[in-house]
Amino acid sequence: MNPLIRAAVLIAVLFTAGAALTPAGPQAEESGMSLPEPELDGEVSLEAAVAARRSVRSFVDATMSLETLSQLCWAGQGVSDQQRGFRTAPSAGALYPLELYVAAGNVGGIDAGIYRYLPEPHELKRELDGDLREELAGAALGQRWIAEAPVVFVVVGVPERLERRYGPRAERYTILEAGHVGQNIALQAVTRDLGTTMVGAFVDDEVARILDLKSGHQPLYVIPAGEPR
């Protein structure tokens, strides 16, 4: 082979291999609206929050502050180790197969709409305009309290992110991780005198349509959050 051609081929191979090894998380190079910094030292103990947590199915018509929404997002999927990128909820292989969506209907400082939480920059990325809480309540078999809450979280799983390492157990690990996130949000809500409900009864395809989810992205949890009535 011509030496020049051989050198060109070698450079191409090395460049391709290097590109394949470059980490690219699911939210790389994305940006959105910055959220207030989360508090790391609250006044309510973990034991008190665990003891006080209850499922709430009636909410008052009260605005949620952006600071509180920020805290709930961080509790669910926020980064807790800036150096290594670890998050508040455990994840198989630290591969993070979840996306946290926020259906905001009554939040101070932001318009109603569907937002996606970006953990690494601690931001919200606007995905859809308009208040879609009523539609989510309809997709959840008419559970009215979902439409009443100022905010509805939707935990979405992407098992594909785990399949290469964990094969057929990827879906199981994704579902387990959704449970960790739901509990984190519920306990953090207690520290803000808020209530939540873990909703698993909904039509998957309808929720996916409302959020305009990509193929392979599966809604796993619907979590309304707000001030209890």
Q: In terms of pTM, does the model score above 0.75?
A: yes
In-domain check, residue 103: yes
Query: Which of 30 and 108 is assigned the larger pLDDT?
Result: 108
Domains contained in the chain, number? 1
pLDDT, residue 20, reads 33
pLDDT in tens, 26-43: 544 577 899 999 999 999
Q: Is 65 exposed, middle or buried (0-12, 13-18, 19+ CB in 10 A)?
A: middle
pLDDT, residue 32, reads 85
In-domain check, residue 11: no
Which domain range does residue 91 map to? 43-226
CATH code of the domain in which 65 resides: 3.40.109.10
Looking up tokens 């785990």, which residue turns up?
Answer: 162
In-domain check, residue 10: no
Q: Quick one: average pLDDT of 80-87? A: 94
